Amino acid sequence: MKMQDIPPRILDIPIRPMGLFVRIITLGWASAITLRPWGIFMKQEKTLRKDILIDILEHEIGHWFQQTLLGYLFYIFYFFEWLIKIFIYWKGAYKNLSFEREARDKRGDWEYWINRKPFATVKYL
């Protein structure tokens, strides 16, 4: 499935520059963050190569789908999983969050995202 086959209402995602608040909550190191319903926030300083930009956006759109199904529960689960995994992985905690594993594993797999069930992330715990 190509990106243009995704129903437009799903991809109607605002792409915004990171403001101060977003930089604070990402501790300044993330190049992008998805905060539905507000949008995908991107760091502006870097001039990114187009293929890298597409990689980042495809990853973030995965988070958009996760958040679409879970709503604000996403933030609660994400935060608590991070709190637990920081004890197991320390600096690797972020990489090992189930939402991040799923977003990496299924990046650009629109067929998967459109048909995904709300708690599909559990497989990636």
Residue 39: phi and psi, rounded to 5, are 140, -170
The correct pick among 98, 100, 110, 113 for binding Zn ion (CB under 5 A) is 100
Asked whether position 102 contacts Zn ion by CB under 5 A, the answer is no
Report the C-alpha gap between 95 and 72 in whole angstroms: 21
Pick 8 or 92: Cβ nearer Zn ion: 92
Question: 41: which strand partners?
Answer: 16, 33
Pick 70 or 103: Cβ nearer Zn ion: 103
Whole-number minimum distance, CB 97 to Zn ion, in Å?
Answer: 8
| Residue whose C-alpha is closest to residue 99's, from 64, 72, 47 | 64
The Cβ of residue 112 has, within 10 Å, a number of other Cβ atoms equal to 16
Whole-number minimum distance, CB 32 to Zn ion, in Å?
Answer: 8
Whole-number minimum distance, CB 88 to Zn ion, in Å?
Answer: 18
Residues in contact with Zn ion by the rule CB under 5 A:
100, 103
